[in-house]
């Protein structure tokens, strides 16, 4: 039964190998013949570490996991969806062989035979389905829109374009949220303590402020001093990279360092306690920025950030489809 079979998505840099050779394949040719490894994830992970000892911790589990799934979880009769980048077609096929090692192949030595059944234009599918098969991974299971791809195999299938693609809104929102998650994770991972202070100072400069970072180890409680122009007021900034929520007493220490006419800015990657939020609401001369708001500012002023930070948080500007609010004028 088709509904008992998995639907896999796969990417490649060699479209002709897939379509003309009637195979699917994944890389990591340095791994050699994977059939000699014990059929468990740990063996694949150990082999991967032996071949790529300098691999980042996160990539070890991801890459070795894809290799394991290609060899042992994928089954004959499973379906595979391959979005071609050369002709923008979506190719759907069925797996016809077990894993096979092809030592004579130049790049893609880990292969399986496949029978291609349908080749359809991308416009045949909803935006949500296209987004799912646009995964950054080389091999993945298609879950949310598997039925849509399988329905394309029906005889006489002809996708009629709806007046409005209902998957556009959720898909666009998911892209945006994933981007925001990525930014906050990278900032949290790479910037601690003084490094985060330097980043906030650079962000303030991107917004249009002149900034001075306080000497490290100072006891003034002020991390950054910012001015909009040559004249007052000055803005005293305190930055915290701690994981826990900021308490009211911590913000009060910032206020204690302020002189008459100063404004305060408190920046944290986490959030504020209930009492701290109340204190900020009752103290208009101090603004609190949490992790979510910091990410919004990064997105807004990304192009003005220093190259150092744009390399640390690599983003590319793209246009994504969104749904129009029909209630607005």
Phi-psi region of 217 (alpha: psi -120 to 50; beta: other; left: phi over 0): left
pTM, rounded to two decimals: 0.60
Contact partners, residue 105, CB within 8 Å, separation at least 6: 25, 29, 111
Structural domain contains residue 174:
no
Q: How many residues does the chain have?
A: 329
Q: Does 208 lie in the same domain as 152? A: no
Residue ranges making up the domain that contains 60: 2-161
Q: Higher model confidence: residue 175 or residue 182?
A: 182
Contact partners, residue 70, CB within 8 Å, separation at least 6: 26, 34, 99, 110, 112, 139
Q: Does 190 lie in the same domain as 107? A: no
Provide the pLDDT for residue 146.
94
Structural domain contains residue 172:
no
Q: Higher model confidence: residue 254 or residue 57?
A: 254
Structural domain contains residue 170:
no
| pLDDT one-digit tens code per residue, 134-166 | 888 899 999 999 999 999 998 777 665 555 556
Domain of residue 210, CATH code: 3.40.1350.10
Structural domain contains residue 327:
no
Provide the pLDDT for residue 58.
80
Q: How far apart are CA 71 and CA 39, in angstroms?
A: 9
Q: How far apart are CA 94 and CA 117, in angstroms?
A: 7
* Total domains, the chain: 2
Structural domain contains residue 198:
yes
Q: How far apart are CA 255 and CA 257, in angstroms?
A: 5
| pLDDT one-digit tens code per residue, 14-39 | 999 999 999 999 999 999 999 999 99
Structural domain contains residue 317:
no
């Amino acid at each position: 039964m088709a509904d008992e079979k998995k639907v896999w998505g796969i990417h490649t840099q060699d479209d002709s190998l897939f379509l003309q050779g009637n195979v699917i394949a994944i890389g990591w040719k340095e791994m050699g013949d994977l059939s000699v490894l014990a059929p468990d994830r740990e063996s694949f992970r150990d082999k991967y570490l032996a071949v790529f000892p300098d691999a980042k911790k996160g990539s070890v589990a991801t890459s070795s996991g894809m290799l394991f799934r290609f060899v042992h979880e994928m089954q004959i009769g499973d379906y595979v969806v391959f979005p071609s980048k050369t002709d923008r077609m979506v190719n759907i096929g069925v797996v016809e062989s077990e894993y096979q090692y092809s030592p004579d192949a130049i790049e893609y030595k880990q292969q399986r035979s496949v029978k291609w059944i349908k080749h359809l234009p991308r416009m045949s599918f909803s935006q949500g389905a296209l987004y799912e098969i646009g995964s950054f991974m080389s091999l993945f299971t298609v879950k949310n829109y598997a039925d849509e791809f399988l329905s394309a195999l029906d005889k006489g299938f002809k996708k009629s374009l709806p007046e409005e693609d209902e998957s556009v809104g959720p898909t666009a929102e998911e892209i945006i949220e994933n981007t925001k998650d990525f930014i906050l994770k990278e900032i949290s991972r790479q910037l601690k303590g003084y490094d985060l202070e330097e980043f906030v100072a650079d962000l303030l400069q991107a917004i249009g402020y002149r900034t001075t970072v306080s000497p490290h180890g100072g006891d003034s409680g002020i991390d950054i001093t910012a001015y909009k122009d040559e004249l007052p007021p000055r803005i005293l900034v305190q930055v915290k990279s701690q994981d826990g929520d900021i308490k009211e007493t911590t913000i009060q220490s910032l206020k204690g360092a302020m002189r008459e006419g100063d404004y305060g800015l408190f920046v944290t990657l986490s959030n504020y306690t209930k009492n701290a939020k109340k204190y900020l609401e009752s103290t208009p001369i101090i603004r609190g920025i949490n992790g979510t708001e910091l990410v919004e500012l990064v997105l807004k002023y990304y192009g003005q950030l220093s190259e150092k930070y744009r390399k640390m948080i690599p983003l590319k500007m793209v246009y994504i489809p969104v749904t129009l609010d029909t209630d607005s004028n």
